[in-house]
Amino acid sequence: MTPEHSSTQPQVERRRGGRRRDDPTPVGVIGAGNMGSHHVRTYSSLGGICELRGIYDLDGERCRAVARQFETHAFASIEEMLDEVKAVSICTPSALHVEHALLALRAGVDVLIEKPVALTVEHAQALRDSVASCSRQPVVQVGHIEHFNPAVREVAKLLEGEHIVALELQRLSPFDGRIVDADVVQDLMLHDVHVLLALAGEHALTDVHAVGRRVRSPELDDYAVATLTFDDGLIGTLVASRVTEEKIRRLSATTEQSHVTVDYLRRTVERCRSTHLELDGGGSRTYRQESLLERVFVPIEEPLVAQLRSFLGCVRERDAPEVGLDMGIRCLAVVQAIRDSISRKPSSSKLPSAQADRTTSDFAEVRRRPQPSPAAA
Ligand SMILES: NC(=O)c1ccc[n+]([C@@H]2O[C@H](COP(=O)([O-])OP(=O)(O)OC[C@H]3O[C@@H](n4cnc5c(N)ncnc54)[C@H](O)[C@@H]3O)[C@@H](O)[C@H]2O)c1
């Protein structure tokens, strides 16, 4: 047990003493920026299972503005808040996640840490070591929100028992310039790394190849493509962009039995599978194959609501979270492998030049042809 935990146990018991198990859990939010405000909004809508005691943000003005908007208290310090709550969401910049999680855990407060759990695997492992040495296991959930996306959950059900050949995941967004401390792999592709690992289940990742390019950010990749291979042969292809003039969130799965496609934004899940392969009667040697297209019902629930409900359930029942530290660390390790692959020097093998490739020249020819004017079209 770490000294900090040995000193906090009595405090935890004292705080729990006056509460009944079914009482709404007192909660708070650290960091009331873009994501933190969503946590505040969601907790304040979950009266009955939690009681939002207040928020803390280093930016006092912002803290008071968000507190006013959601009719809650703006704490003057993290410590003051931790004295009042039993669970917190940590929505500060990623570089501060571990520091804030440790502060909360020392105060006997359970934590939901926004993704990524930390900036580096080593940092996240240090947090795991501290958690492992606690006598009363705290709840430490990582905010990989796609786990709670109803469309992703439906896909997981559809793929159960099927042999997955390949998964393709696309996450493309227009440029907004807001994220300046993380590249597109750390910021966007991380979500799909998590979905891919969750769908691949127990299978081990054996190979990672990735390329990326800077487009609008001076020093960070804005577009990346990664191919990941697992020990059962599964091929995962991830494409992430923050410079695409359309927001796209898609997943497609090819299995030996079916093809499943998901559009997260339209909330559609479709499965195409062949039902019959039979020889036509009448002596002809032709085969008839029937393909069945199923549209799967996707329940309506905001993923953040489902995520926070699940977290609060774990806090109340002392259950392990559905997305814990181990998954958070695996995702970080894969993100690091993708980034390493991108930054590796180009292969020394000689690749064919564009001139030698007739197909490329042919398309160049097509592009050079005069385009018909809109009126003529
Ligand atoms: N799950 C998701 O889909 C998702 C989406 C966006 C962001 N995030 C994650 O949420 C976290 C926050 O991102 P954001 O977009 O809300 O950033 P943001 O900059 O909008 O908000 C961060 C807030 O933290 C505050 N802050 C900074 N230092 C602090 C400190 N020492 N103590 C208290 N408050 C402090 C800032 O004043 C700011 O209000 C990041 O880790 C990000 O990766 C997750």
Q: Give 10's pLDDT tier (boundaries 50, 70, 90).
A: very low
Question: Which atom of ligand 1 is the closest one to the Cα of 191?
Answer: 3
Reported as type and span, the H/E element at residue 222 is none
Residue 278, pLDDT score = 67
Q: Which residue has the higher pLDDT, 20 or 192?
A: 192
Q: Which among 59, 171, 188, 168 is positioned nearest to 116, based on CA atoms?
A: 188
Q: Which among 217, 199, 118 is positioned nearest to 160, based on CA atoms?
A: 199
Distance, CA 115 to ligand 1 centroid (Å)?
A: 10
Question: pTM of the prediction?
Answer: 0.87
Q: Give 8's pLDDT tier (boundaries 50, 70, 90).
A: very low
**pLDDT (mean) for 314-321:** 96
Percent of the residues in the chain that have a pLDDT greater than 90, as a whole number: 72
**Is the CB of 63 within 6 Å of ligand 1?**
no
Residue 282, pLDDT score = 62
Distance, CA 331 to ligand 1 centroid (Å)?
A: 19
Look at the block and give the residue holding tokens 């490329």.
Answer: 360
**pLDDT (mean) for 329-354:** 81
Give the mutation target among 58, 77, 323 for probing the ligand 1 site: most ligand atoms within 8 A of CB.
58
**Is the CB of 143 within 6 Å of ligand 1?**
yes
Question: Which atom of ligand 1 is the closest one to the Cα of 96?
Answer: 31
**Is the CB of 34 within 6 Å of ligand 1?**
yes
pLDDT in tens, 36-95: 999 999 999 999 999 999 999 999 999 999 999 999 999 999 999 999 999 999 999 999
Q: Which among 173, 201, 179, 202 is positioned nearest to 264, based on CA atoms?
A: 173
**Is the CB of 250 within 6 Å of ligand 1?**
no
**Is the CB of 115 within 6 Å of ligand 1?**
yes
**Is the CB of 28 within 6 Å of ligand 1?**
no
Inform me whether the pLDDT recorded for 376 exceeds 50.
no
**Is the CB of 101 within 6 Å of ligand 1?**
no
Give the chain's radius of gyration (CA, Å): 25
**pLDDT (mean) for 108-131:** 96
Q: Give 4's pLDDT tier (boundaries 50, 70, 90).
A: very low
**pLDDT (mean) for 173-194:** 92
State how far the Cα of 55 lies from the Cα of 46, in Å rounded to an integer: 16
Query: In this structure, which residue's CA is closest to atom 21 in ligand 1?
Result: 33
Question: Which atom of ligand 1 is the closest one to the Cα of 59?
Answer: 37
Residue 348, pLDDT score = 58
**Is the CB of 93 within 6 Å of ligand 1?**
yes
Distance, CA 220 to ligand 1 centroid (Å)?
A: 19
Distance, CA 57 to ligand 1 centroid (Å)?
A: 10
Question: Which atom of ligand 1 is the closest one to the Cα of 56?
Answer: 33
**Is the CB of 32 within 6 Å of ligand 1?**
yes
**Is the CB of 58 within 6 Å of ligand 1?**
yes
Contact (CB, 8 A) for 47 and 27 = no
- What structural domains does the chain harbor? 3-138 (3.40.50.720), 147-301+335-342 (3.30.360.10)
Report helix, strand or coil for 78: helix
Q: Which residue has the higher pLDDT, 151 or 358?
A: 151
Inform me whether the pLDDT recorded for 280 exceeds 50.
yes
